[in-house]
Structure 1
Amino acid sequence: MGPMTQVWRAEDRYRGGEADAGIDTRHAFSFSGHYDPDNVRFGLLVACNEERLARGAGFALHPHRDVEIVTWVAEGELEHRDSTGQTSLVRPGDVQRLSAGSGVRHTERNAGAGPLRFVQMWLVPGEFGTPPEYEVVHGIADNTPFALPRTDAVLHVRRLAAGARTAVPDAAWAYVHVVRGQAVLDGATLRTGDAARIADAHALEARAETDAELLMWEMHAEPVYG
């Protein structure tokens, strides 16, 4: 049996955020007030939120527990502060990881002079109740896999020129998110904000129709609870 690909369009994401506070959010999975029992996760991925924050806007201090939070900035400058004392500025090309573990609180805000757009992805860890961890990989290079600690998941960043091709990782669950541009994958055209969920991905490739930036998750497990 070959790969099974589902395409999820940007316009079909659940709308969230607080317009009055300068926050516009688009959820790929059930989140907060949006619940669809048929769309709660894919592999280990339980959230893929596109966030747009106006200048100075942000999320007040709030808690997380037992979730791996990975953030990719597409445009602007994100300021992170958390209860462990970590403070950092995250810019395009940086990968930020917050392992909430036994519990952590953090704030996020637009610290730049212009708009901020970022993609935030949550994954279920393979173990619970561990100490919180934080790191930023500055200026991650293309074709450099980012193996997410505490999970059986790897993030691949691809920046492609028009006409370029890239392999989709072979995996039981592969998730491809288009940060910008346009690409063709398994016969489907994906545009900015679109995503493909691929079960049993094998021998697939994506071809950029314009300059494009893709985030690809390679996952080999599902959540185990209890």
Structure 2
Amino acid sequence: MIRIQRAGERYPGGDRAAGIETRHALSFGPHYDPDNLRFGALLACNEERLAPGAGFDEHPHSHTEIVTWVVEGELTHHDTAGHTTVVRPGDLQRLSSAGGVRHVERNDAGVPLVFVQMWLAPLSPGGEPSYEVVRGIREPYDLPEADARLHVRRPAAGGRVAVPAADFVYVHVVRGTVGLDEELLHPGDAARITDPRGRTLVATTGAEVLIWEMRDWRKALG
């Protein structure tokens, strides 16, 4: 019903010599766990840290919805569909790789970059790539391609956030601390919930939390 994954339990990755540090919540690349391949539509939730000047050179994606949340610094994005953008804290970036696209992600600023990148499985493969950035997002972000919705919540200390009623709910703490049942979640901690009824997050400090609500993809596919 609830599975807590602490920040220190994430799989380490990246290339420290190149200024890249990654922490994976689910199986990713060489870090394979057959019991941790996905949660609902979520295929990856990676915490990325890039030193100034570091980045991921051009590489391909397909059949994946890629949602990025910048925590600190600035992320420069460029893709082969013709988009070049700088994404900052408070902005939400989505790249729908669809039938195939290549992109570059870099830290071209003079300060460290921290971001959370989440990959979701689309209901249908193929199609044309698409891209958007929502600046200073305040409302829930719907991702119908994956039958999912992302909530960005910033409760003050003592604030309460109802856990959405959904088949799968994934909670990732970006800043601050929040309580869930008897557990206290810190930055980088996550909770996977399959019975959200009546559950509430309670901020014990000012906090920033990403919450995915997802429908069981098997129901969506009918």
Q: Which amino acid aligns with 2:145?
A: R
Where in structure 2 are the equivalents of 1:48-127 lying within 5 Å? 48-127=45-124
Tell me the alpha carbon deviations over residues 127-163 of structure 1, each in whole angstroms, 9 at most, x when there is no partner.
111100000000001xx11001312100000011111
Please give the alpha-carbon distance, in whole angstroms, between the structure 1 residues aligned to 2:114 and 2:132: 20
SS at match of 1:200: coil
Aligned position for 1:158: 153
Aligned position for 1:129: 126
Tell me the alpha carbon deviations over residues 86-127 of structure 1, each in whole angstroms, 9 at most, x when there is no partner.
010000000000000000000001122211000000000011
SS at match of 2:194: strand
Q: Normalization by structure 2: what TM-score?
A: 0.97
Displacement of 1:205 in angstroms is 0.9
Aligned position for 1:21: 18
Whether the aligned pair in 1 keeps the contact of 2:65 and 2:120 (CA below 8 Å) is yes
Give me the identity figure in percent.
60
Please give the alpha-carbon distance, in whole angstroms, between the structure 2 residues aligned to 1:110 and 1:211: 27
Please give the alpha-carbon distance, in whole angstroms, between the structure 1 residues aligned to 2:155 and 2:186: 14
Displacement of 1:200 in angstroms is 2.6
Displacement of 1:164 in angstroms is 0.9
- Gaps of at least 5 residues in structure 2 are none
| 1:218 correspondence with 2:213 | yes
Higher strand residue share: 1
Whether the aligned pair in 1 keeps the contact of 2:123 and 2:217 (CA below 8 Å) is no
Q: Which amino acid aligns with 1:35?
A: Y
Aligned position for 1:181: 176
Whether the aligned pair in 2 keeps the contact of 1:176 and 1:196 (CA below 8 Å) is yes
Tell me the alpha carbon deviations over residues 55-108 of structure 1, each in whole angstroms, 9 at most, x when there is no partner.
111000000000000000000000000000101000000000000000000000
Whether the aligned pair in 2 keeps the contact of 1:76 and 1:115 (CA below 8 Å) is yes
Q: What count of residue pairs does the alignment treat as equivalent?
A: 220
Aligned position for 1:5: 2
Please give the alpha-carbon distance, in whole angstroms, between the structure 2 residues aligned to 1:101 and 1:149: 13
Aligned position for 1:42: 39
Q: Runs (4+) of structure 1 moved beyond 6 Å?
A: none
SS at match of 1:147: strand
Whether the aligned pair in 1 keeps the contact of 2:73 and 2:112 (CA below 8 Å) is yes
| 1:31 correspondence with 2:24 | no
Displacement of 1:204 in angstroms is 1.3
Whether the aligned pair in 1 keeps the contact of 2:162 and 2:199 (CA below 8 Å) is yes
Displacement of 1:222 in angstroms is 2.5
Please give the alpha-carbon distance, in whole angstroms, between the structure 2 residues aligned to 1:28 and 1:210: 24
Q: Normalization by structure 1: what TM-score?
A: 0.95
| 1:147 correspondence with 2:118 | no
